[in-house]
Structures are given as C-alpha cells and as structure tokens.
Structure 1
C-alpha cells in the first residue's frame, strides 16, 4: 500500500477541514442559527482528539501527524494575526471619543458586569481541581475567565450586523462603537495577565519602541499609495507580532496593536471588506481546526459541559444585566437594551483567540479551554435567532439617531 507523503497528508487534512463544515452548513441549512463560521468552529472540535480522535484513533494518527499539525499551526497563526490586524484597523476610536459619555457608560457596563459575573463563576470552578494551568496564578485564571465572559467578538459582530442588514445604519454603528471600546480593554487586560516581571524590561522596551515606530509608520503610510500601504502593513504586522512575542506579551497583542494604530481611511472600505472575507474564507478554517485539536475532556464530559453551562449563564446574564443598567442610566427606549445586549454577547473568534493565548501560556488547562470554547459557540449561536425577530418587531430602533 502506498504510504502518503507529508504533503499528501497535509493536503488531505485541508480537504477535510474545508469540506466537512461546508457540507454540514449547506446541506443542513444551518445559516439561521449557526452561520458557516460557527459550523467551522464546531467542526474543529469534532475533528479534534476529544471526539473523532477518540472514536477513530487510527484516522487521527494518520491525518494529524506531528508534521501536519505543525504546518497547520503555522498557517493558522498567520491567518489569525491578519484577522486581528483588520479588527484593529476597523476600530473607530475617534467616533467613540466624540460620543465618549454615552459610549463610555454603555461599553463600560457591558464589560464590567459580565467580567464580575464571569470571575465569580471562575472562582466557583476553582474550588475543584483541573481548571487552573500550571503557570496560572489564581488571579490570572479568574481574571482571564472573567474577561472571556465579557468579550464581544467585534469581527463576528460585523458579520452578524451585515446579515441582519443593519451594519451601515445608525443603530449598527452604535453597536460597533460599544464593541470597539471593549475590544481595546480586552487586549489591555491580556497584557496585564501576561505581564512577566522577569521580562518587564523587554516589555517596557517594546512599548517605547512601538510608540516611536508607530509615529514613523503613520507618517510613511500617509505619503504612499494604497497598494504600497497594503504591503507595508503586512511587514508592520509581522514586525509587531515578532517584537511583542519576544517581549513576552504574545504575538497576538502585537498584531492587534499594529492594526489599531492605523487609520481605516487609508484603505478602501470595499477592499478591506474583501480582504477580511478572504481571510475568513481561505485561512481561518485552519485556525478553527487547530483550535479543535486543543480540546480535551479528561476531567469528564459532564464536568466540562457543566462548566460551559455555568460560564454561558455568567456571560449572557452579565452582559444583559450590564447593558440593561446602561439603558436605564441613558434612558433608552423599552426593549432597546435587551436587543443591544444580545448582540454584544456574541463571542466566537476574539474570545477563542483570547483563550488560545491563555492556554498557550498554560494559565488555563485544556479542560477550561474546552468549556470556554463550548460557551463561545453556544453564545454565538443564540445571537441571530434572538435578535432577528426583535429587530423585525421594532424597526424604530433602526431609525434612531446614533
């Protein structure tokens, strides 16, 4: 029998990664409650060692060899760096600052309340062993899980707002302002969690060097043609990722910062949308699979699902409570806070990226990662079915000025 070469095994893995989720999404017509990106995340979990790997170990050992996994991990790393870079570019901090009173109140409460409820859930989990990683201090685990419950997945939120046909409306732009401010806080908290006192000099050096480099890059970008900006941007992305990882802050922090300091007006919006769409279509499915390869159930499937349910309640309940409180303070219309809260509780990509970093740094265990991943999937699957009928009933939301 012909033994497959490493390249053949790699291509077979890609064939599985792209074929299985697409067929499920298309044939089962899941788009209303589980868009393709959600099916791809679930597909990554099912194709990993915890499910199909356990049921068919020979398949797993043949397809996902160490060489194949290493190749997929490299591809997934670059894919997610590009995705986070685009998310950074699309942050509209200028508008958020202009409306800082309303934005700060809504975004602040939408972040703080689920952070508290998520942290309380984390402390409850830590009463039993198996959830804290070997390198994770208690405060890092609690803060990390709490922040995972508070995260809003800005890129997925953009896709959902497009699907609901409200992205360019005043209502859609309000939602993006709130999510954008929270996105900045996510990476700030991550930097705090990853603060390494043995590397604090490197980290301080990175931040100082990044500040000077940002001034130079912004001056350069303002002077060159858009085609050149794209190429220079990728060089800038790779450099920031490398420097941040060298400093101990993780390459994803550098990827986000490299986009956040660039102006969206330097790029054609349609071209930026196409680039994000390309990364989602052609690159991110590999990241979802590599994420699924990290799922584990060794503390017991019941315990992991129980933890996921607890975290889901803390995440959704905290987000709705926080946005509801903001609505009372800002005197929003009845029902408005509930709709906004359900949109802002969308998790998926950014949260998965966030907890991937915590897992890579061994702050949390594979079991905690799996519970958080399940929570993110369930949270994201709830969004469209809940929000779509609410918007249909209350079209006045879309006519409200931003």
Structure 2
C-alpha cells in the first residue's frame, strides 16, 4: 500500500470511497432483490456498518486506512452533515399540525400510547443494561442515557414510514393519513425530548437567547415566505436552514435540533407536493448514502460483539413490544376495527433514519458510547426490516391495498 498511496491524491481516493458507498449497497439490493424485507435505505445502513472499522477495517486494515483516511473522512463528514440537515428539515416540513389538531382526541391518545409505552419499556431495558459498565459516554449521566435509550426505542422514522406506506399502497388511504398524524405528533415530542436531554446548564443563557431569537425570526421568515415565489422559497429555505442549524449548535443544543425546527415552522403547502417528494427522493439517492457510511464508520464492538448484539436484541424487544402494547391500548380506548392496532403498531415501530440521527446526536455529545450507539443502530435496522413482511399479510387480512 505504501507504493500506491503516494500516487493518488485526496480527490482520487475520495472518489474511490464515493464509488464504493454508492455502488455496493445498490448492487446488493438490486441483485439479491431484497426490497421486500430490506429496502434500499436499510441495505445502505447495513452497508455503512460493514464498511466501517468493525468489519472492513478489521478484515483489511491497510486498504481501509488507505481509502478512508482522515482527509477523505473529513470530506465525507461535511457532506453527511449537510445531507442529514436537509433530510431532517424535510421531515419538519412533513408535519401537518392543523390536521392533527382537527383530530386531536384520537391523535393525542394514539400518539401518547405509541410514545410513552415504548419509552418506558426502553428506559427499563436501559436500566437493566447499565448495571454493567461501558454504555455511558464520557459526558453523559445515568439519567440522560436512560432517557436517551428510552426515547430511541419510542422513535418512529416519519420519512421512512412515508416510503414504506407508499410501497404498501396505503399512504393516500384514510388509514395511511391517520398513521401519518400519529407519527407527526410523536416527531415533535422526539425533538423536544432531545432538547431536554441536551440542556446544558452552563449554556442555558445561550439556549434562552436562541429560543427567543428563533421565535422572532420564525415570525419574520413566515411573513417573508408568503411573499415569495416557490423557486425563491426553496433557495431561502436553505439559507434559513443553515442559519438556524448554526444558532442551535452555538447555543449548546445541536444543529440537528435546529434543522428540525427550521422545517417545522414552515408550511408544507408553500411547496408543491411533487417537488417536496422529489427533494426527499434526491436526498435519499444522492447524499444520504454518505451519511449512512459516516454512521457505519462510528460502529465499534470494543465491549464485545456478543454484548453489543445482546443489547441490540434487548432494545428491539423493548421497542417493538412497547409500541404494540401502547397502540393496542389506544385502539381499545378508541374502538378500532379488529386488526387495525396491529398494522398501526408495526408501522409506527419503524426506526431507521430518524432514530439513527437521534442517537448520532447523543454520540456527538458524549452521552452514549460507541458500543451503545452500535447496539441502537442494529436495533433500528432490525426493527425496520420487520415492518413490510409483518404488515403485508395483516393488510391482506384487513382487505386493504398492499404491495404494488
């Protein structure tokens, strides 16, 4: 390798890395036809893990060090940060709070059941796991880690949920729109809990300044957007996103919290549905694979592979059981038709991107260790892979549209 490395500059090595990132998951997804149980986004996340130091780096350390050298990693991280900011911004735009308010009783009961029960189950699993060392980060406290893991078990990945419901043919159906309302309300709670976890009492003054300034700026930006054409709205929204992301990070929160808030205060109606869908599809196609790779590069197994897999399974059981129990309770209170609670529960336990983004923030802030992050990442992948195979037969039994 010493003879090869000097012959190539950072640009060439970066493009080799980018080729691997884009090609390997796509070829696996297409050639093995995994779409039923592992959509492309799941294959990309798994690919990121396999390309990380725990697998590729351990098997081929010289090649790994050559391709994923510090300069390349720095470039990839820059793309990943901006990619995930745009993705979370789009998730914020997807919120339809007026619709949730119009159906507030049903939405509140279901969203509460889908959030609180798995949070409690996940927190109990975390308390059990934390009896052994190696799971709390250098800047984290016991309470932060318990709440963080509990919330990670309660997360529903709204953008991935939309993709899966489109695949199942129910996104535009009344059932799909109901599920979207429940997930949207939980999305707000997710970022609220994250902000609570990240409260830095030494920087609480900065956080107060940020929130006050953001409230005033949001009012001004909304007034401005009403006067702009859609093309200008898209461009200005990216400027707004960068500014709010910076301000949130400066305040001691995280740029991801800022990205979600930047999107949540704007109205999705200001953007045509076709362009908004196209924007999300572009992100998933062109830049989010880089985020998955950068996520995979952070996976570690230093506590021991079996312990990490054991923790992942524990989190999976807590997450799925908590979500199904909570939604079933809501279904009984609201008098749903037989079989609906099971379908809604399995769809709402979809994790994937948003949970990975959530746990990335906890890792960035030193609240959890790489091993905790890896266990939660594996849980997110497994929970998402369960969704389509388990929902499809239930939809058939309910005589609803199913896979195209």
TM-score by length of 2: 0.98
Aligned to 2:61: 57
Counterpart CA distance in 1 for 2:401 and 2:147 is: 34
**Match of 1:234?**
238
1:167 maps to which residue? 171
| Residue matched to 1:350 | 354
Select which of 289, 294, 299 maps to 1:295.
299
Q: 2:107 & 2:63 partners in 1: Cα distance?
A: 50
Indicate if the aligned counterparts of 2:113 and 2:327 stay in contact, CA closer than 8 A: yes
Name the counterpart of 1:388.
392
Q: Deviations over 1:24-64 (max 9, x none)?
A: 00010000000000000000000000011001101110000
Map 1:28-177 onto structure 2 (within 5 A). Answer: 28-177=32-181
Q: What are the superposed Cα offsets for residues 269-318 of structure 1, whole Å, 9 maximum, x if unpaired?
A: 00100010000000000000000000000111000000000000000000
One of 284, 288, 301 as aligned partner of 1:284? 288
TM-score (normalizing by structure 1): 0.98
Q: CA deviation at 1:375?
A: 0.2
Provide the C-alpha distance between the structure 1 equivalents of 2:401 and 2:31, rounded to a whole number of angstroms. 34
Matched position secondary structure for 2:287: helix
* CA deviation after TM superposition for structure 1 residue 395, in Å: 2.0
1:224 aligns with 2:228: yes
- Cα distance, 1:323 vs. partner? 0.2
Q: CA deviation at 1:97?
A: 0.8
Query: Which segments of 5 or more consecutive residues in structure 2 lack a partner in the other structure?
Result: none
Could you say what the CA RMSD is over the residues aligned between the two structures, in angstroms? Answer: 0.9
Tell me how far apart the structure 2 counterparts of residues 174 and 371 of structure 1 sit (CA, whole Å): 31
| Per-residue deviation, 1:397 | 8.9
1:306 aligns with 2:349: no
Question: Unaligned regions of 5+ residues in structure 1, if any?
Answer: none
What is the CA distance between 1:396 and its match in structure 2? 5.5
- Distance of 2:259 and 2:163 partners within structure 1: 21
Q: For the residues of structure 1 that align with 2:400 and 2:263, how far apart are their CA atoms?
A: 34
- Give the count of matched residue pairs: 398
| Alignment partner, residue 10 of structure 1 | 14
Aligned to 2:218: 214
Q: Distance in 1 between matches of 2:276 and 2:341?
A: 30
Instruction: Name the SS of the counterpart of 2:201 in structure 1.
Output: coil
What is the rounded CA distance, in whole Å, between the counterparts of 2:185 and 2:123 in structure 1?
Answer: 20
**Retained in 1: the 8 A contact 2:170–2:401?**
no
Superposition deviation, residue 224 in structure 1: 0.9
1:246 to 250, 254, 266: 250
